[in-house]
Structure 1
Amino acid sequence: MSQVSKASIIQPETILDFIDGVTQRRDTPEERVRQEILKSLVREYGYKKEQIGVEESIKFGSNRKAVDVAIWEPGKAHTQENIYIIVECKDPKTKAKGKKDGVDQMHSYASACMNSTYGMWTNGDELLTFRYVVDDAGKRGPEAVPDLPHAGGEVPDDAPRFDQLRPAASDSLLYSFRRCHNYIAGNQGIQKAEAFLELLKIIFCKIQDERDSETPTFYITPTERQGAAGKKKCRKRIEALFGSVKQSYETIFKADEHIALTDDVLAYIVAQLQMYSLLESDVDVKGHAYETIVGSNLRGDKGQFFTPRNMCHMMVRMVDPSENDVILDPAMGTCGFLVTAMNYVLEKIGNSVDASGRSKTAKQEALIARKREFLSKHIVGIDFDPILVRASKMNMVMNNDGTGQLFHANSLEPFSGFEPKLQKALRLDAADVAANKALQPGHGVTAIMTNPPFGSKIPIEDPAILESFDLGHTWSWSEEDAEWRMEPKLFSSQPPEILFIERCVRLLEPGVGVAALVIPNGILGNPGLGYVRQWILRHAQILGSVDMHPDAFQPNVGVQTSVLVLRRWDSEEEAYCKDGTFQDYKMFMAICDHVGHDKRGQTTYVRDDDGYPIVREQTTAVTGKVGSEEESGHTSTERVVDDETMAIADAFLEWRRDQ
C-alpha cells in the first residue's frame, strides 16, 4: 500500500465515507459493515463510485426512507425509478429474519423502487442476495441468487465462467469464511472445530476446481437452490472435486474421508464462495481471512496464539531471506511466517527476473524455474499438532504453492528422532544427528522466524528431551568465575520457549544462519534466567531486540514479549566466547509502542495532538479481473493505522547495512 504525504484530520469517532471521501459518518458497527461493502462493490464488483449513492432518500408510501446503498447503471439518472441495486447493511446483532430491519425491509424498499433488479442484505456475518423477478401470474418478488452481478454483467443462471470470478479485496473474504463457518456450526449441529474441518474440505474443492477444471464445476445455480434435486446435483459435483482433492493431497486427507455436510448446508457454502477466485486473490487478504478463522478454533491450553500479520511482516523483513536461504519455522502453527516469507522471496524473484533484460518468454521460463526450485527445497515447517499441520498445508495451497515441506513432528525431540525427509530438509547429516547440533558449514538452515509456544502450563518433562539440551540441565552461579555453570542434573521440567531458543540456534548454519524469535520478556530480565541469557550470548550474536507493546497479542493473550534477532556464531567465534570473553559489538534496539490495535483487538489510528484522527489518501493495488494481466489501483482517503512495526524493520535493515 502506497501513501501520499498529504494528510488531514477528521472528527473523533467518525469514519470517512469511502464513496465521496468527504462525508464523516459516525463510527458504528453498522457503518463499518457498510463501508466494507462499499469497498467491495468498487474493488471487486467493478462499480464506479459515481454509480453509487449512500443514504439515498426514496419515497416510501407517504413517508421518505433512506436506502443504505443504491446503485444505478451507467448513464442513468440518479432517481428512485432508475435504482438498479439496493443494499441494506446492519450491525452484526441484527438478524435477517427480524421484522424491523431484516430482509423483509429490503424487499419493501425494492417494491418502492419498481425497476430495481437486485438486492443485498448483510450484517457482516450474514449476507443474502436476491434478484427481483415477475412470475407467470405477473407478481414481482425476490429470488435467491448466489451473488450480485459484476458491473456490466448479469448473475449467471447456469455455471459461471472463470472470467466471471472475482478476486477478493479488503475483508470481504474474511466475512465470507466467517459466514460459512458460523452457518455450518449453527445448522449442521457440530462443534466449531469440526465445522472448521468441513469448511477446509470445501475450500480445497474450490481451489482444485480453479486449478484443474476446464470450466467451473464448483457452483450451484439459482434454480438448483430451489429444490432438493438441484442441491443433490451440486453435491455430486463437489464430491467429484473432493475425490480429486484426496488424490492430489494424500498427506492432508485420508482416502475414506467424505463431506459430512447436509445438502442444504453444502448448497449455502458453495453459493457463498463460488464467485470468488481464491487463486487470484491477494495473499494478505487470503492469509488474514484464513488465519482469523483458524484462530477462532484454537484452544489456548497448548500455548498456541497466532502472531499478528504485521509482526510476521516485521520479523520476515528483519531476517530479509532470499531464494538461496533455507527458511524454517519449527513451531509453524498455521504457517503465517512461512507464507509471509514465501511471498517476500517470490516478490524478490519476480523483481530480479523483471530487471534481467530477458525476453518476455525467457522471463516467464526463468520465473517458473526459480520459483519451483525455491518452493520445493527452501521452505520447511514443523508442528506437533496434526490439525495445525493440516491447516498449514491448506494455507500453502491457498497461496499458490503445493503443500511445501511441512512436517508433523516434535521440534524439540533429538535430531535422531526426526524422519529422514525432515533431516534432509534441515540439511543435517549423520554427524549432525549424532551430535544433536549442526556444526559444519553448509549444514543447518539459514533463516528462522518463529513464535514458539509459551507457558508453564505446558512444561517439557521428558528426560530424553531435556537431556539433549544444555538448557534442559540445571545451572548454578559461580561467584568466583562470575558466570553460570551447567550441572549434570536435569530440570524436572522446563517451559518450551526456553528449549526452543536453543533448538533454533542449533538448527542454524554456523556463521550464517539468522533467526527472529518471539520470546517472553521474562527471559530477558528475570534474574533466575541469567543462565539462558549467558547461553545465548556464547552461542549467537544478538543483532537486534525489539520490545513489543503489551497489546501486541491482544485480544487473545496479554503476554509481554520481545523479538530477538540472532546470528549463530561460527566455530571460531563460539570458541572465543566460551573462553570467558564476550565479543564487543553493537546491537539494534527498539521499543514498539504502536502495534495498530488495542487490547480489545480494535484497530487504532494515528491522531494529532488534539486527538483528532489523521486521514491520508492511499492507493491499494488490486488484482484485476480474472484473466487480465493488468492491476487496477483504487485510491481512497482512509484513517492511518497507528502501526510502527514496518518502520522498525526498515530501520533495522538500514542499521545492518551501515555496520
Structure 2
Amino acid sequence: MELEIQITGNKIYAPLLGKELILTPEERIRQKYICRLVNHYGYSLDQMQQEVTLTGSKRGTGRASADIVIWRSKEDRLKNINPIIVVECKADYITISTEDYYQGQNYARFANAPFFVTTNEKETKVFKVNLEITPKTLSDEILDIPNATEANSNNEVLKLLAKTKAFERDEFSKLLFQCHNVIRNNDKLSPEAAFDEISKILFMKIRYERNPDEDNIFTLNQFEKQERNYEKNIRPVNVKRNGPKDDIPYMDYWFELTKDEFEDDELFDKNDKIRIKQGSFKEIVKKLQKYNLSTTSDDVKGIAFEEFLGGTFRGELGQFFTPRTVVDFIIEVLDPQEDEVICDPCCGSGGFLIKAFEHVRDKIEQEIKIEKDKVNAAFDEIAEATKDVEALNEVSNEIIHKLSYETQIRKREEQDRARRTDMYISRLEKLSSTCIFGTDANPRMARTAKMNMIMHGDGHGGVHHRDGLLNINGIFENRFDVILTNPPFGSRVEKSSIITKADQITDENRIARYKKMYGDSTYTKAMQQINNNIDEPLLNTLHIGKKGMSGLTEVLFIERCINLLKPGGRLGIVLPEGVLNTQNLAKVREYFESTAKIILITSIPQDVFMKSGATVKSSLVFLKKFTDEENRLWKNYTTQATKDVKAKHAPELNSIKEKLMLKGAEALNTTTKKELRQQKKKIEEQIEVEIRAIVKEKFDYEIPIATVEKAGISSTGSIIENELIDIEKEYTPYRIKNELWKEQKPNFKYVWSSKTGKVERVKNSAEIQIIEW
C-alpha cells in the first residue's frame, strides 16, 4: 500500500518517528517528500531518518539538523555507514535562496553523502556533492536522485551524478519556441493555432505531474510503448477507458483526460481534439520529457512563458497584453492585501492576476519570515534555561503552525449541523484557491491565462472562458475587494446580443459545489443575472445599457466592475481618455459619480500601447465604490437637493405648464408652444445641473490627477524611463495619510499558557509573549 500523509486537526503523523507532530508548513513538505521517497523511489522507512544532527551542534531547538537522511539499506543506517542522500525541506511560503542550497550541501558534505536535495514542493533541486571543491562553491545540479534499486549500484549512481541539469529561463523559453516551430513546420499551422496545440500539450503535462502514479506519457519510450499497445488493442491496466474513448489513440485519450481535469474552467470545447500529427506530438514529448514543470522555479517558468507569449502573439492578439510597467503601477497603487478577493473580468493573458498573486504572496512570505524569526529568537534565549527541549520545540512549532495556517470550520456532515471539524489550509493555498478570479471571452486567451498562472505558481480554478459581463463561479456582484483590468476598447455590445441557455450552468455537481462554496441563497441570487434573462439582451443586465446611455465595451465594463466590488472595494482600470472628457458620455460619468469615488487619474503617453497596435490615448483610472455610509450620504444629499432646487424653479415651471394647457380662444400658436417647451426643457436641464452642483459640493473630496510623459516602455516596446514609479511613491503615503481605504495589515502576538497547553494568536500586537513557561 502507498504511504499517505495523515493529518488530524493541527497534527501530522511522522512515520519515521512513529508519532504525531504539530502541523507546520515545513513539516507538511517533509512528510510529503517522505511519501514520495517511499511511493515513487521505492525506499523503505527503515532506510531513512528525519531531523538528524549532522553538524555536531548542541543548539537547543535542533534547527541545525538535516531534515531527511537516506541510507542505501537498513543495515547501513544501523551501522552508521555514510548515507547516500540528504534532504533539506523548506516551507512552501519560503523562496529557496542560495544560502539554503549551501546549507544542504554542507550537511551532505559532513555526512559524505553523494546527493543532496532541497525542496519546498513548488521547486525541487537535486545536486551532486563534490568534496573536492571549496564549501563556498555550489555543486552541479543534476536531474534526479537514484531510486532504491539504483542506490545499490555504483554504476547507476555514477550515471546519475553525470547527468547535470541547467534548466534556466532562457533554456525553457527556447524549448517552448522549438516546440512551437515543430508544429508550424510539420503541421503548417498559423502561429496562434500552433500555440493552441502547445497549450494543450502543456496542460496534458501539468495534468500528468498532478497525477504522477499514472502511466508517464511524457517519456518517449512510454509513449511509443502505449501506441504499440493501442495498435495491438492492449489498454493501459491502471487507466480506465470508458465509452467512446476506447477507440481513440493514446495521445487523444490523454487529452480527453486533460479536458475532464479542466472541465469546470470551460477552457476546451467538448469536441476539441489534438490537431497535430503523431510525429509532431512525439517530437515535443521528446523535448519536454526530461523537465518537471511542477518542480521548476516559478520565476524560471513564469518569465520564460511570458517571453514565449510575447514572441508568439502579434497583431490581433497584442491587445491582450498590458505592458508590465502599467500592471505593476496599478497593483502598487491598489496594494491588495491577504484575504482580499481579486478579479479581472477581461483577464487576457492573466498579467494583472499573476502580479496581484505575487504581490500578496510576497507579503505573506515576508510576514511569516519576520514573525518566525521572532519566534526563533525568543526560544533561543530560553533554550539554555530549560531541559525540556522537546516540549519547547512543540510550543515553537505550535506558534509556527498558527503563523502559517488558518482554521476553516467545515461541516463534517451536511445534515448534522452540530458536528463540525477544524480543517487547516495554508495561507498561500487560501490565496491561490479562493482569492484570485478571472474571465476572458476569448477561449485562447482564457487558456493562456490559466497556463500563465500555473507557470507562476498559481494553478487554481479561478480563471474561466466566459463573457466578463456574465456571472460564473465566484464572479458575481458585491464580492470583490480589488478589481484590476484593461477592458477591450472601441467595440460595442448591441441589443441583438442576447443571453441564451448556453450561458447557463446546468451541471448539477458544479452547481452544488458552488452553492457549498458561496452559500445556497447567495449563489442562486447571483445566477439570476443569467437564469432570469434568457433570450433577453445582455445590455439589459446593466443600468447603462438598459437606459441606452452607451453600448461601448469600455463603458459597460466600468459599471460591471463597480457592481462586482464590495462596498468600499477599489478598482484600477485602463480607459481611453474619451470616456473621461467627451460630451456624449457626460451622462455616463454622472452615473459613475453616484456610485464610486475617483481616487486617482494618471494620464499615460500614447506610446505605451502602440506596440500592441492600439492608437488611442489612455488613462489609468482608480475608483473606490461607495461604502454603505457614503451611498447613504449621496442619496440623502441628492434627495434634499432635488427637493430644494425643484421648489426654487416650481413657480416658473408651473407657469409654463399652465400656458401649454390653454385651450379654445386662448390656445397658443404652434411657434409659441415650441418656444415654451424649449424653455421648459432648458429649466429642467438647469435643475439637474444645480442638483449635481449642490450634491458634489456637499460630497466634496480631492481627486489627484497626474500626467506622465514616460511610462517605462517606448512605441517600439523598448525599456525607457518610468515616471509611474515616482507617482506611486508619492501616492502611497498620500492615500495612507488620508485613509482612502481600510488598511488590512495583520499584526499578531502568540501567547502560550501552560494551563491550557495551547498557543493562541491574538491580534493588534507585534510582540511574542511566553506566559508561565
Category of TM-score, reference length = shorter chain: 0.5 to 0.7
The answer as to whether partners of 2:319 and 2:612 remain within 8 angstroms in 1 is: no
Q: Partners of 1:651 and 1:309 in 2: how far apart?
A: 20
Matched, 1:514 2:597: no
2:258 paired with 1:245: yes
The aligned residue for residue 471 of structure 1 is 544
Match of residue 120 from structure 1: none
One-letter amino acid of the counterpart of residue 508, structure 1: L
Give the deviation of 1:519 after TM superposition. Answer: 0.3
2:190 and 2:602 map into 1 onto residues whose CA distance is: 39
TM-superposition CA deviations, 1:628-648 (whole Å, max 9, x none) = xxxxxxxxxxxxxx3344443
Alignment partner, residue 201 of structure 1: 200
CA pair 170-399 structure 1, distance change in 2 beyond 3 A: closer
SS in 2 for 1:519: strand
Superimposed CA distance per residue, residues 110-137 of structure 1 (whole angstroms, 9 cap, x where no aligned partner): xxxxxxxxxxxxxxxxxxxxxxxxxxxx
Counterpart of 2:487?
452
Q: 1:192 is aligned with what amino acid?
A: P
* Shift of residue 501, structure 1, vs aligned partner: 1.1
Matched, 1:527 2:562: no
Structure-2 residue corresponding to 1:599:
715
Q: Deviations over 1:57-80 (max 9, x none)?
A: xxxxxxxxxxxxxxxxx9x9xxxx
* Per-residue deviation, 1:567: 0.4
1:187 aligns with 2:222: no
Alpha carbons 1:231, 1:267 under 8 Å: kept: no
Matches within 5 A, 1:493-508: 494-508=551-565
Superposed CA deviations along residues 153-211 of structure 1, whole A, max 9, x for unmatched, are 69999999899796854544333323322331122222333311210122123333444
Q: 1:550 to 1:466 in 2, by over 3 A?
A: same
Q: Give 3-state SS (helix, strand or coil) of 2:730's partner.
A: helix
Offset of 1:238 from its aligned partner? 6.9
Question: What amino acid sits opposite 1:178 in the alignment?
Answer: F
- RMSD, aligned CA: 4.3
Letter in 1 for 2:183: I
Aligned to 2:705: 589
Matched, 1:658 2:737: yes
* Secondary structure at 1:412 match in 2: coil
Q: Which runs of 5+ in 2 are unaligned?
A: 1-97, 102-129, 133-138, 146-154, 231-248, 376-395, 407-423, 498-535, 642-691, 739-773
- TM-aligned CA distance change 1:278 to 1:573, over 3 Å: farther
Higher strand share: 1
Match of 1:572 among 632, 651, 670: 632
Paired letter, 1:591: T
One-letter amino acid of the structure 1 residue matched with residue 600 of structure 2: G
Gaps of 5+ in 1: 1-42, 47-73, 77-149, 429-442, 474-487, 605-641
The residue that corresponds to 1:407 in the other structure is: 464
Deviates more, 1:288-297 or 1:540-549: 288-297
Q: 2:712 is matched by which residue type in structure 1?
A: G
* SS of equivalent to 2:483: strand
Pair 1:521–1:257, CA change in 2 (3 A): closer
Change (3 A) 1:365 1:189: same
* 8 Å Cα contact 2:565-2:625 kept in structure 1: yes
| Counterpart Cα distance in 2 of 1:186 and 1:544 | 49
Q: Which letter does structure 2 place at the counterpart of 1:588?
A: P
- Given residue 623 of structure 2, which amino acid in structure 1 is its aligned partner? L
Deviations 1:77-130 (A, max 9, x none): xxxxxxxxxxxxxxxxxxxxxxxxxxxxxxxxxxxxxxxxxxxxxxxxxxxxxx
**CA distance, structure 1, for counterparts of residue 328 and residue 589 of structure 2:** 26
Does the C-alpha gap of structure 1 residues 187 and 398 become closer, same or farther in structure 2, counting only changes over 3 Å? same
Q: Contact 2:490–2:554 (CA<8 Å) still a contact in 1?
A: yes
The residue aligned with 1:261 is 276
Q: Deviations over 1:387-428 (max 9, x none)?
A: 322333223333333332233333335xxxx35x34xx43x4
Matches within 5 A, 1:26-425: 151=140, 169-213=168-212, 217=216, 242=255, 245-251=258-264, 252-253=267-268, 259-283=274-298, 285-291=300-306, 293-294=308-309, 304-357=319-372, 359=396, 362=401, 365=405, 369-412=426-469, 418=471, 421-422=473-474, 425=475
Aligned residues: 435
Q: Which residue of 2 aligns with 1:648?
A: 727
**Against the structure 1 CA distance between its residues 373 and 563, is the aligned structure 2 distance closer, same or farther, given a 3 Å change threshold?**
same
Distance 1:529 1:320, change over 3 A: same
SS at match of 1:452: coil
Tell me the distance in 2 between the aligned counterparts of 1:152 and 1:374: 31
| SS of equivalent to 1:552 | helix
Aligned to 2:53: none
SS of corresponding position for 1:410: coil
Moved more, 154-163 or 557-566: 154-163
Provide, for residues 603-652 of structure 1, a one-character-per-residue CA deviation record: whole Å limited to 9, x for no partner.
34xxxxxxxxxxxxxxxxxxxxxxxxxxxxxxxxxxxxx33444433332
**Are the equivalent residues in 1 in contact too, given 2:598–2:703 (CA < 8 A)?**
yes
Partner residue in 2 for 1:616: none
How far apart in 1 are the matches of 2:617 and 2:160?
50
The more displaced of 464-473 and 553-562 is 464-473
Q: Which amino acid aligns with 1:553?
A: F
**CA distance 1:313–1:171, shift in 2 (3 Å):** farther
1:350 aligned counterpart, secondary structure: helix
Deviating more after overlay: 317-326 vs 569-578: 569-578
- For 1:546 and 1:283, locate their aligned partners in 2 and report how far apart those are by CA, in whole Å: 32
The CA deviation string for residues 264-307 of structure 1, in whole angstroms up to 9 with x for no partner, is: 42343234434444335554554444345456676866994311
SS in 1 for 2:172: helix
Match of 2:43 in 1: none
User: Does the 8 A contact of 2:404 with 2:427 survive in 1?
Assistant: no
Deviation, structure 1 residue 518: 0.4
Structure with larger Rg = 2
Give distance in 2, aligned partners of 1:397 and 1:320.
22
Distance 1:448 1:262, change over 3 A: same
Matches within 5 A, 1:542-553: 542-553=598-609
Q: Deviations over 1:488-521 (max 9, x none)?
A: 6x25x622101111121122112x1000000011
Amino acid at match of 1:514: R
Contact 2:143 2:165 survives alignment (8 Å): no
Give the partner amino acid of 1:449: L
Output the CA distance in 2 between the equivalents of 1:454 and 1:190.
29
CA distance in 1: counterparts of 2:449 and 2:602, whole angstroms: 27
Q: Following the alignment from structure 2 to structure 1, what is the Cα–Cα distance between the partners of residues 229 and 328?
A: 40
Q: Which has the higher contact order (CA 8 A, sep 6+)?
A: 1
1:274 and 1:232 map into 2 onto residues whose CA distance is: 17
In 2, are the aligned partners of 1:302 and 1:453 still within 8 Å (CA)? no
Quick one: distance in 1 between partners of 2:425 and 2:161? Answer: 23
How far, CA to CA, are the matches of 2:712 and 2:229 in structure 1?
A: 42
| TM-score when normalising by structure 1 | 0.56
Q: 1 CA distance for matches of 2:327 and 2:162?
A: 33
Q: Distance in 2 between matches of 1:352 and 1:250?
A: 36
Equivalent pair of 1:516/1:566 in contact (CA under 8 Å): yes
Give 2:284's aligned amino acid.
Answer: I
Task: Find the residue that maps to 1:400 and give its secondary structure.
Answer: coil
